[in-house]
């Protein structure tokens, strides 16, 4: 009986781009022949990726969002405080000049003039707060831009020979590895995947250090 070689196909490795010769199996989901070119496996992989991402990365994304939100709020409050300090100083100088002017005539400013100056201060503070809040999109993008997710290199042992029983013959994966979240000065806290997230920041107790003379995209608020 003659020997018939099974049909084979060539695919490219995702990283090396080298052709790999493999059998052309039937669909693992619907069992249709490969010639049917169904999308079952591709769609199934998309679902599996989303599920794995949700299990392993949700807490990471939550931590990043919390960190960015907190530092953005700190920056906006610090920026608003700087603006209002300048405005209050200007208001105090105006009142001092007003009192000095009337003191020359040995009298006091009219209450309406004081009320007018106070009303102008209130309007200015409202404008400062509005201007500060309107910077949130820029500030949030800046702090999101400081977040780093470092992927391991392709030659690292954990990538070349994953501890999966089907590949390396080792123990089953079992979900033992976790995504490591790292902040300078705080060590590494396990959160749940395989990506190292370095989040440069300062202790929240000490607050951000902001140089308001620089535009935000160049300011080192950490």
The tokens 């300062």 sit on which residue? 202
3-state SS class at 96 = helix
Distance separating alpha carbons of residues 201 and 142, to the nearest angstrom: 13
Long-range contact pairs involving 117-120 (C-beta distance under 8 Å, separation at least 24):
117/91, 118/91, 120/91
Find out whether 15 and 154 touch, Cβ atoms under 8 Å. yes
Residue whose C-alpha is closest to residue 194's, from 221, 163, 216, 219: 163
Which of the two residues, 5 and 133, has the higher pLDDT score?
A: 133
Main-chain dihedrals φ then ψ at residue 55, nearest 5 degrees: -70, -45
**What DSSP designation does 25 have?**
P
**What is the per-residue pLDDT for 15?**
65
What is the rounded (10 degree) CA torsion for 173, 25, 22, 7? 160
Q: How far apart are CA 197 and CA 194, in angstroms?
A: 10
pLDDT of residue 167: 54
pTM recorded for the entire structure = 0.60
Residues 6+ apart with CB under 8 A from 7: 23, 24
pLDDT in tens, 57-112: 999 999 999 999 999 999 999 999 999 999 988 878 877 777 776 676 777 777 88
């Amino acid at each position: 009986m003659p020997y018939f070689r099974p049909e084979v196909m060539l695919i490219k490795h995702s990283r090396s781009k080298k052709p790999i010769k493999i059998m052309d199996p039937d669909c693992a989901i619907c069992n249709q022949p490969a010639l049917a070119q169904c999308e079952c496996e591709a769609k199934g992989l998309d679902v599996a990726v989303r599920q794995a991402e949700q299990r392993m990365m949700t807490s990471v994304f939550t931590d990043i969002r919390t960190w960015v939100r907190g530092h953005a709020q700190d920056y906006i409050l610090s920026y608003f405080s700087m603006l209002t300090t300048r405005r209050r100083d200007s208001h105090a100088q105006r009142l001092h000049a007003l009192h000095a002017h009337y003191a020359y005539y040995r009298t006091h400013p009219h209450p309406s003039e004081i009320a007018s100056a106070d009303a102008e201060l209130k309007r200015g503070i409202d404008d400062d707060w509005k201007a500060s809040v309107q910077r949130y999109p820029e500030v949030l993008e800046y702090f999101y831009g400081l977040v780093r997710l470092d992927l391991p290199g392709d030659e690292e042992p954990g990538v070349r020979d994953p501890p999966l029983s089907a590949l390396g013959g080792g123990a089953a994966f079992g979900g033992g590895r976790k995504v490591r979240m790292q902040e300078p000065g705080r060590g590494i806290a396990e959160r749940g995947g395989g990506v190292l997230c370095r989040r440069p920041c300062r202790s929240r107790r000490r607050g951000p250090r902001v140089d308001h003379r620089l535009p935000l995209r160049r300011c080192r608020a950490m």
